[in-house]
DNA sequence: GTGGTCTAGACCACT
DNA sequence: GTGGTCTAGACCACT
C-alpha cells in the first residue's frame, strides 16, 4: 500500500479507499482488528492525525467499530458493504474515463481498445 | 461544459481537461480563439482568476498562445497534443479503476463486465 | 527593429527606447521627421494606439515635437539627450546584471568574464 | 531582499529570481526549508498569493519541492540549476545592455568603459 | 504552524 | 473589448 501525497485525492481519502479494498478482498475479515493508528501512520509515513481521520470516516460508514482499549474492529456487514464500495468506485473510474474519451471524440472502439490495453499491461504499479 | 466545485480535482484542472478535450475533438481548431477569460468565468459561474489560471496552464502546455488585446489562440500542433493528453487521461482513469478492482479481489472477468456496463449505460451524465 | 510582445517591458516602452537609440546614433537627426504613427505601427505589426503612446512619451521627454499637419520632428537638443538616455539605460542593464551575479555569489572575475563573453559573441540578435 | 513594485518585472518574478540567487549562493542549501509563504509575504510587504505564485514557479523549475504541512524544501540538484539560472540572467542583462549601446552607436570601447564603471562603483544599491 | 485553491474586485497594457 | 498582475481574505488538508 502506498500513498501519493501529490495527488489531488486527499491522503485520508486514499487511506479510506485502500482499507475498503482490503476489507472487500478479505485481507481483513469481520471481527478482526485493522492496524492501529500509530502503526499505519508509521508504515505510510503519514501523520497519525491523518490516519485518525480516515478511521473516523470508516467508522461513520459502519465498516469498522471502535472498541475501547482494543482498537478498530471490522464489523459484520463490512465485507459486503466494502465490496459495494469497491464496485462503485471502479464503476466511477470507468465512467469518468469513458466520459473523457467521448468528450475528446474518441470512438467507442478506441475507448474499448484503451481499456483492453490497461487491463493487459503487466504492471500497473509505480514505474517511478 | 460543467464544473463540479465539490470534486477533489481542482476547478482550474477541470477547466484545463475540458478544453483539452474540446481541442482534441476539433470544437476549437488551430488559429481559432477559445472563449475569453471573463466570458468562460461567467458561463461556468467561476471566478475569472480560476479560469485565468487554467489558461496559463494551457499556455505552458503549448496548446494555446496569448495574443495581447485579442485573446488566446489555439496553436498549430494543439490538436495532436490534445489528443495525446485525452488518451493519457482516459488510460489513467481505466488503470486506476482496474487497480482498485484488483485490490478488492474482483476478477478480471468481473472488472471487464463492470467496464462493459459503464460503456453501455445510456446516460453517463448526472448520476445524482 | 523588432518588438517582443511577450516581454515584461511594455511594448510602448520598447518603442520609446528604440527611437531614443536611433536618435542617439544619428539615424534621425534634429529637424528630421520620425516615421508616422501609422507607418511605424504597420512596420512593427502593432496597434497605432501603442505607437501613439510611445510618441507622446517622447514628446513629454522633449526629444520630438509635434508639428500640425507635418508629423513629429526631432528637436535640437535631442541627440545629446538621447545619448544620455542610451548611456543611462546601458549602465542600468550592467548594474542589474552585476547585482544579480553578486547576489548569486559570482566572483567579479566570473562576472567580468561573462561580460566579455557577451561582448564578443558574434550575433546578439534573435536566434529563434 | 527588496522588491520594486514599480518595476516592469512582475513582483512574483522578482521573488523567483531572488530565491534562485539565494540558492545559487548557498544561503539556502539542499534539504533546507525556504521561508514560508506567509512569513516571506510579511517580510516583503506583499500579498501571500504573490509569494505563492513565485513558489509554484520554483517548484515547476524543480529547485524546491512542497511538503504538505511542512514547507518548501530545496531539492538536491537545486544549487547547480540555480547557478545556471543566475548565470543566464546575468548574461541576459549584459547582452541587453550591449545591444542597447550598439543600437545607440556607442563604441565597444565606450561600452566596456561603462561596464567597468558599473563594476567599480561602490554602491549598486539604491540609486534614488 | 504549512502549502493549495478559490472568490471578489482592482488596475494595467494592448486591440 | 482582451489577457496579466496584484491585493485582501477565506477555507481546506496536512504536520
Per-residue pLDDT of chain C (128 residues; tens, 9 = 90+): 689 998 999 999 999 999 999 999 999 999 999 999 999 999 999 999 999 999 999 999 899 999 998 999 999 989 999 999 899 999 999 999 999 999 999 999 999 999 999 999 875 444 43
| B128 has a pLDDT exceeding 80 | no
Q: Which three cell numbers stand for residue C120?
A: 564578443
Nearest to B2, CA basis, from B51, B58, B45, B64: B45
A vs D, Cβ pairs < 8 A, gives 4
* Closest residue in D to A47 (Cα–Cα): D69
Q: How far apart are CA C105 and CA D26, in angstroms?
A: 8
pTM: 0.89
Q: Are B91 and A80 within 8 A, CB to CB?
A: no
Q: Which three cell numbers stand for residue C95?
A: 548594474
| Whole-number distance in Å between A103 CA and F14 C1' | 35
Place D123 in a pLDDT band, splitting at 50, 70 and 90: low
The reply to whether C12 Cβ lies less than 7 angstroms from strand E is yes
| Whole-number distance in Å between C67 CA and E4 C1' | 57
Q: Which three cell numbers stand for residue B25?
A: 475533438
Q: Are A119 and B106 within 8 A, CB to CB?
A: no
* Closest residue in D to C28 (Cα–Cα): D104
Q: How far apart are CA D76 and CA D68, in angstroms?
A: 18
Chains B and A touch, contact meaning at least 3 pairs of CB atoms under 8 angstroms apart: yes
Residue from A88, A93, A98, A106 whose CB has the most chain B CBs within 10 Å, to mutate:
A93
Which nucleotides of strand E are protein-proximal, with an atom < 7 A from a CB? 1-10, 13-15
- State the DSSP string of chain D: ----TTSSS-HHHHHHHHHHHHHHTTSS-TTPBPPPHHHHHHHHT--HHHHHHHHHHHHHTTSEEEETTTEEEEPTTHHHHHHHHHHHHHHHHHHHHHHHHHHTT--HHHHHHHHHHHHH-S--S---
| Whole-number distance in Å between A61 CA and E10 C1' | 46
Q: What average pLDDT does this structure show over D46-54?
A: 97
User: Does D57 contact C at CB distance below 8 Å?
Assistant: no
Residues D63-97: b if buried by 16+ CB within 10 A, e if exposed: bbeeeeeebbbbbeebbebbbebbbebbbebbbbb
For residue C99, the surrounding DSSP H or E stretch is helix C78-103
- Which distant-in-sequence residues (6+ apart) come within 8 Å of B2 by Cβ? B44
Name C67's bridge partners: C71
Handedness of CA A13, A14, A15, A19 (dihedral sign): positive
User: Does A38 contact B at CB distance below 8 Å?
Assistant: no
Q: Which residues of C touch D89 (CB under 8 A)?
A: 97, 100
Q: Which residues of B touch C11 (CB under 8 A)?
A: 68
Give the pLDDT score at D63: 96
**Between chains, do C94 and D9 touch, taking CB under 8 Å as contact?**
no
Q: Which three cell numbers stand for residue C107?
A: 566572483
Q: How far apart are CA D7 and CA A108, in angstroms?
A: 54
Name B33's bridge partners: B73
Segments of chain A scoring below 70 in pLDDT: 1, 123-128
Which nucleotides of strand F are protein-proximal, with an atom < 7 A from a CB? 1-10, 13-15
Q: Which of the 8 DSSP states describes residue B66?
A: E
| D127 has a pLDDT exceeding 70 | no
Give the pLDDT score at D122: 76
Residue from C110, C112, C119, C123 whose CB has the most chain D CBs within 10 Å, to mutate:
C119
- The packing angle between helices D11-24 and D48-60, to 10°, is 50
Q: What average pLDDT does this structure show over D63-89?
A: 94
| B91 has a pLDDT exceeding 60 | yes
Place B2 in a pLDDT band, splitting at 50, 70 and 90: confident
Q: Are A17 and A88 within 8 A, CB to CB?
A: no
- Which distant-in-sequence residues (6+ apart) come within 8 Å of C13 by Cβ? C54, C57, D8
Amino acid at each position: 500500500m502506498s500513498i501519493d501525497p501529490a495527488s489531488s485525492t486527499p491522503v485520508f481519502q486514499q487511506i479510506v479507499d485502500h482499507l475498503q479494498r482490503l476489507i472487500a478482498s478479505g485481507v481483513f475479515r469481520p471481527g478482526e482488528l485493522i492496524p492501529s493508528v500509530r502503526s499505519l501512520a508509521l508504515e505510510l509515513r503519514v501523520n497519525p492525525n491523518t490516519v485518525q481521520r480516515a478511521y473516523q470516516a470508516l467508522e461513520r460508514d459502519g465498516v469498522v467499530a471502535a472498541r475501547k482499549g482494543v482498537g478498530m474492529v471490522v464489523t459484520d456487514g463490512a465485507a459486503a458493504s466494502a465490496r459495494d464500495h469497491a464496485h462503485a468506485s471502479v464503476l466511477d473510474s470507468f465512467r469518468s474515463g469513458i466520459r473523457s474519451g467521448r468528450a475528446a471524440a474518441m470512438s467507442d472502439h478506441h475507448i474499448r481498445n484503451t481499456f483492453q490495453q490497461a487491463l493487459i499491461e503487466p504492471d500497473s504499479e509505480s514505474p517511478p
